[in-house]
Amino acid sequence: MVQVLIADPIAASAQKRIEDAGFEVVVRNKDADGPISEQIKGFDCVIVRSATKITKEVLEAADTLKLIVRAGVGLDNIDLEAAEEVGVKVMNTPEAPTVSVAEMVFALMFALARNVTQADSSMKDEKWNKKLLKGTELWQKKLGIMGFGRIGKEIARRGTCLGMDVLIVKKDRPGREAECAEVGARQVSPDQLIEESDYLTVNVPLVPETEGMIGLEELKRMKETAYLINTARGGVVDEDALLKALEQDMIAGAALDVYVDEPPKNWELVKHPKLIATPHLASSTSEAQVRVGELTAEKVINEFK
């Protein structure tokens, strides 16, 4: 019988589907079960989200492991090279939270444009700061999208519907023009994207090539009236540089849903008045969690049929 370890929670319906397929399922209790490197022995498959790290040490400790399924998008919590070395297949479910993340980008964008968090906070303090909290429209603003995968395309579609001028980085590859035409985006150089965007949203995976891709130099080149939104991975934006940019009014503000350390170890950036901070909520919708679970179950079952 196939042994499946669910290391991070997935939808109950997905767990039941795996069990109904005849697999034996164990749900990990990280407080009671000790290090996963000690628990992993005997399992054919492990399901993780973002919390559990599948390191080289964990993979070396596994004796029967054949499949890792990341219930979600990113794979930065899995040592992919080590998995390949020991012949363990790695899969994820990038299609599941696409709409939820795209909508979160606009939730943060609207909150920045209309000072929603400051307005709510001031009202709860019994202050009527109407004149101080005048906002701006998204209509006809330039929306720069870094990363033109599933999520980037969904953001572009929504930006176009709002009457925004949607910009993506120019790439010379087959089908690119058709993709742009479908979602109403236009291609510009990387420099133009950074320098012209009124709202710059980051939607790339965290890999060596993207780590720190938004640093002090990039922030200096943005408009003073521009906003940065990151719902991708914390390491893509240099947090120290962003704090400096906000303190020196290089940009108008920023919104972060992801951080280098989660939860953050240093809360200075999070508490900055020009930053909207949320605790990695972009994919946390009821609909996305069901889709993530169902796709995870499907991949596990199909792999061991």
Which residues are part of the catalytic machinery? 233, 262, 280
Q: Which residues contact 214 (CB under 8 A, 6 or more apart)?
A: 146, 200, 202, 228, 230, 236, 237, 238, 241, 242
Q: Which residue has the tokens 């596994």?
A: 62
Q: Mind giving me the DSSP string for 87-117?
A: T-EEEE-TTTTHHHHHHHHHHHHHHHHTTHH
- Distance of alpha carbon 135 from alpha carbon 161, whole angstroms: 20
Helix boundaries (H) for the chain: 12-20, 30-33, 36-39, 56-61, 80-85, 98-113, 116-124, 150-161, 176-183, 190-196, 216-221, 239-247, 286-303
- Distance of alpha carbon 109 from alpha carbon 70, whole angstroms: 28
* Parallel, antiparallel or unpaired: strands 67-70 and 45-48: parallel
Q: Mind giving me the DSSP string for 240-276?
A: HHHHHHHHTTSSSEEEES--SSSS-S--TTTT-TTEE
For 200: left if phi > 0, alpha if psi spans -120 to 50, otherwise beta; the answer is beta
CB pairs under 8 A, 24+ apart, for 87-90? 88/59, 88/62, 89/303
